[in-house]
Amino acid sequence: MVIYLDVLVFINIFVTYFLLLSSGFLLHRKAKKWRTACGAIFGGLSALVIFLPPMPGVFLLLEKLLISVVLVLIVFGFENWKWFLKQTASFYLVSFVYAGAMSALWFFITPAGMSYRNGVAYFNISAAILVISTVVVYLVLCLAEHFLHRTPKEGQMLFVRLDYGGREAMVRAFVDTGNQLQDIMSGLPVVVCELKALKGCLPDEVYFALQQHKVEEIQGEQWKAKVRVLPMNAVTGTGTLVGLKPDHIWIEQEHASKEVQAIVGFTDQPLSDGDFSMLVGTSLLENT
């Protein structure tokens, strides 16, 4: 059977794109579109292994695992080992399900114009069908994004991007209705963040002053003006939380980046076992 290189790569770009979307959906993670596109292109090029001699099952599994690792790094990056392993396992799982479905299709039906080798499926379809498929899939994605978009709810995860003096940090946040903190002076909602999550975003002297609970040692009028002392109630009693007003703060969602107004309160205690580093109240999300 003749295999056309352009058709092979194009089809597998489509396949990889939807596998990446499925993998992110399983863990409620949404990558940047340009990163997903780069990953899909890499996945399409990796389909060239179909031209190699048939590989034994063990080597095929190792090959798929290596491709999964590279794709996860391209699309989702590396936050920590826990999330990296979770995302790799998620993508490997959806890839394994897809490979199993293609194997079953080949074994039981063997459609005309289909070839399946080394875990790669090839369908001999015309250029017109490729163009029509592209348009249809794009329209379906646009409609799905329009109808499925909702404001994040309690228990969901999202990313928050912060800017302090031109330095930015992206923090994974948990939507928590229990966080009703507000800055008394400005009335702005307060998000609670692990201090270490913003180490690269703050000047060293500011970071260490916050770490040592010596905010009076923060120098510079610009930084002093950002400091907030926030009263709070906890199970153990009342207390205070030291916060800094960021220059900018954005809620990152798949469809857009929405700038909001909030104070960031810092804690030395871990908020989770590595799943997230910030607590965001629903009041901050009402207008996103």
Cα atoms found within 13 Å of the Cα of residue 64, Cβ hemisphere only = 25
Which pLDDT belongs to residue 32? 80
- Give the separation between CA 241 and CA 246, rounded to whole angstroms: 16
Among the listed residues 6, 176, 247, 268, the single catalytic one is: 176
- Per residue of the chain (288 residues), give pLDDT as tens: 678 788 888 888 888 888 888 787 777 676 788 899 999 999 989 988 888 888 887 888 888 888 889 999 999 888 778 778 888 888 888 877 776 666 666 566 666 676 777 777 777 766 566 556 555 665 665 566 555 555 455 557 888 999 998 888 899 998 887 777 888 888 888 999 999 999 888 989 999 998 988 888 888 888 988 888 887 665 445 668 888 999 999 888 665 678 888 999 998 888 888 888 999 988 777 655
Find, among 27, 175, 183, the residue nearest to 94 by Cα. Answer: 27
Reply yes or no on whether 273 is catalytic. no
Which pLDDT belongs to residue 264? 93
Radius of gyration, alpha carbons of the chain: 24
Query: pLDDT digits over 43-55, tens only?
Result: 989 988 888 888 8
- Give the separation between CA 61 and CA 68, rounded to whole angstroms: 10
Q: Is the pTM of this model over 0.75?
A: no
Six-digit token string for 208: 């260490």
The crossing angle, in degrees rounded to 10, of helices 33-46 and 57-75 is: 160
Find, among 236, 249, 118, 251, the residue nearest to 173 by Cα. Answer: 251
- Provide CB contacts within 8 A for 55, sequence distance 6+: 49, 63, 118
- Give the separation between CA 4 and CA 178, rounded to whole angstroms: 57
The SS3 assignment for 202 reads coil
Six-digit token string for 147: 């109808």
